[in-house]
Amino acid sequence: MKEVDTRGLFCPLPLTIVSKNLKEIPVGERLKILADDKAFKKDIEIWAYETGNKLLEFKEENGYYVAIIERGKGFKGENIIDKIKFISLGVKLHFIKHLLDLFPPKKPKYLLTFVSVAEGLRADKWLKEEKNVNNKYILLPVPKEIYPHCGLVFGFLNKEDAINIYNLLKENKFAVEDIHIVDKDKKYPVLKI
């Protein structure tokens, strides 16, 4: 079992590191996480639920936390309302993506990823309500080459907007992951910031 040590790091970095590492292992495999951030217990429980992963074990030992997570197949919703909302969001995001495919000049060149769909939606709401930033990006489904399960990304036409929004969200404790470059080979390399 792979082990990730996030001791000494604070929200949202532990979740970002856990998310990236969990995406590198197959469904059903487990990841052991060490953390000492006091918010980690609540954060990891909510994150595991939101992403469809299983928090199998959580304990405190020697002044830090140890969590064991099993990689799941992605969030699908627990009740009928959750499922309908989730499917509706997916339909909306894929519809937007298909519209953009028809108009290539407007197609995003940079994609900002998050640790969960819920975190991306929370960031979108905050940007629109608090910062009045609603014309710099577009919500899209995460490409399967970045993450094979459902998810969302912010799509940007230019690099400067992508970096500015990434930094703004990170400074305000949103769990952003990376900015990916949209390339013709669909490899989506990470932009070095």
Q: Which domain holds residue 56?
A: 2-70
11 in the same domain as 49: yes
Q: pLDDT tens digit string along 69-126?
A: 998 877 666 667 766 766 676 676 767 776 766 766 678 999 999 888 878 888 999 9
Report angle CA 126, 151, 106 to the nearest 5 degrees.
Answer: 75
Q: Is 150 a catalytic residue?
A: no
Distance CA 70, CA 148 (A): 16
Amino acid (one-letter) located at 94: H
148 in the same domain as 109: yes
In a domain, 130, yes or no: yes
Cα distances (angstroms) measured from residue 40 to each of 34, 59, 108, 123, 157: 10, 11, 34, 19, 34
Q: pLDDT tens digit string along 47-63?
A: 887 777 888 999 999 99
What is the pTM (predicted TM-score) of this model?
0.67
Return the CA Rg of the chain.
17
Q: pLDDT tens digit string along 145-172?
A: 887 666 789 999 999 999 999 999 999 9
Cα distances (angstroms) measured from residue 161 to each of 51, 154, 183, 189: 27, 11, 18, 18
Total domains in the fold of the chain: 2
In a domain, 16, yes or no: yes
In a domain, 33, yes or no: yes
CB atoms near residue 171 (< 10 Å)? 8
Among 4, 11, 46, 118, the active-site one is 11
Which of 30, 45, 70 is the endpoint of a domain? 70
Whichever domain contains 152, its CATH number is: 3.30.70
Helix or strand or coil: residue 38? coil
